[in-house]
């Protein structure tokens, strides 16, 4: 029998009130013991769109972090990462909670571990959640850069393990590139990207063998990195991607606009 938070309340009667109240009640309920029940709660939380409903679920952030632990089943990890991504994008109360260094560090560390060694289907979700946390502000970006996450993200960009599921691989690469772009918004965090081979890894994604969304995500990441004087010399190096950027513009790629801005930022240095 399905576990539908939107049709039944904790007492089994027809639920009243906004979905956020019902989900919060379920999180506090002794019913939420089995993995399936926890996942159902978290998946429902991740689907919330109404800002008021999401704000009601701010207390959910702490139990969500527990579901990111390495010993949790993959489905729990993925659902929790998706919920954190949604909460950081929609909920001011959750943003305030995650902005506290203690909880932010826990979230970053656990999401980083999933990004590094989680199931392929969960890695992209974890990278997107990291991007959402990075978007909370410069402190979050710097914390993620200091955590070692950039090297893990670069390893995803460079992954050439012969994986047959090209769509899954492209999704992970796009998510990793977008996360690196968000980190690079902070100049101090951007300087920490040096030495992680990020330039060569992003440039390699600009070639025609990669999908347009991957090319575009990589180009915008390079665009942001090119704003940093400390990184511009690396981008001008032979493996910095200049040739690939010119090819994107010449071929009218969907990533051409981003490529133009990378070159603009380099010329404006």
The residues with which 8 forms a beta bridge, in sequence order, are 14
| 185 pLDDT more than 70 | yes
pLDDT of residue 23: 59
Q: Side-chain half-sphere of 100: how many Cα atoms within 13 Å? A: 8
Which H helix or E strand runs over 80?
helix 74-90
The residues with which 14 forms a beta bridge, in sequence order, are 8
pLDDT in tens, 62-77: 777 888 888 888 888 8
Q: Percent of the chain at pLDDT above 90? A: 29
pLDDT in tens, 230-269: 766 666 666 557 888 899 999 888 899 999 998 888 777 6
> What is the biggest distance separating any 2 CA atoms in the chain, rounded to whole angstroms?
67
pLDDT of residue 130: 93
Q: Percent of the chain at pLDDT above 70? A: 64
CB 246 within 8 A of CB 207: no
- Supply the mean pLDDT for the chain: 77
Q: Which comes out higher in pLDDT, residue 193 or 11?
A: 193
pLDDT of residue 40: 65
CB 78 within 8 A of CB 34: no
Would you list the domain boundaries of the chain? 20-172, 197-268
Q: Confidence band (pLDDT; 50, 70, 90) for 15?
A: very low
List the single range of 82-91, 167-176, 194-203 with lowest mean pLDDT: 82-91
pLDDT of residue 88: 74
Cα distance between residue 107 and residue 85, in whole Å: 11
List the single range of 55-59, 128-132, 183-187 with lowest mean pLDDT: 55-59
| 196 pLDDT more than 70 | no
CATH architecture of 20-172: Alpha Horseshoe (1.25)
End-to-end CA distance of the chain: 62
- CB count within 10 Å of CB 129 equals 31
């Amino acid at each position: 029998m399905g576990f539908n938070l939107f049709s039944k309340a904790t007492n089994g009667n027809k639920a009243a009130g906004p979905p956020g109240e019902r989900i919060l009640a379920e999180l506090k309920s002794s019913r939420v013991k089995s993995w399936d029940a926890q996942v159902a709660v978290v998946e429902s939380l991740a689907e919330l769109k109404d800002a008021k409903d999401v704000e009601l679920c701010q207390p959910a952030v702490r139990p969500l972090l527990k579901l990111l632990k390495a010993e949790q089943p993959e489905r729990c990890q993925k659902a929790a990462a998706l919920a954190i991504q949604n909460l950081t994008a929609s909920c001011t109360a959750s943003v305030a909670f995650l902005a506290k260094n203690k909880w932010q560090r826990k979230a970053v560390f656990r999401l980083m571990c999933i990004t590094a060694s989680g199931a392929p289907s969960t890695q992209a979700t974890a990278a997107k959640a990291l991007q959402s946390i990075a978007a909370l502000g410069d402190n979050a970006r710097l914390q993620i850069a200091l955590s070692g996450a950039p090297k893990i993200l670069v390893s995803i960009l460079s992954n050439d393990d012969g994986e047959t599921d090209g769509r899954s691989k492209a999704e992970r690469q796009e998510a990793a590139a977008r996360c690196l772009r968000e980190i690079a918004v902070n100049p101090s965090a951007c300087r920490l990207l040096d030495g992680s081979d990020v330039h060569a890894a992003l440039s390699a994604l600009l070639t025609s063998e990669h999908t347009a969304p991957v090319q575009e995500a990589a180009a915008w990441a390079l665009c942001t990195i090119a704003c940093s004087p400390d990184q511009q010399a690396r981008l001008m190096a032979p493996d910095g991607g200049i040739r690939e950027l010119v090819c994107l513009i010449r071929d009218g790629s969907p990533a051409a606009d981003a490529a133009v801005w990378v070159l603009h930022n380099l010329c404006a240095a």
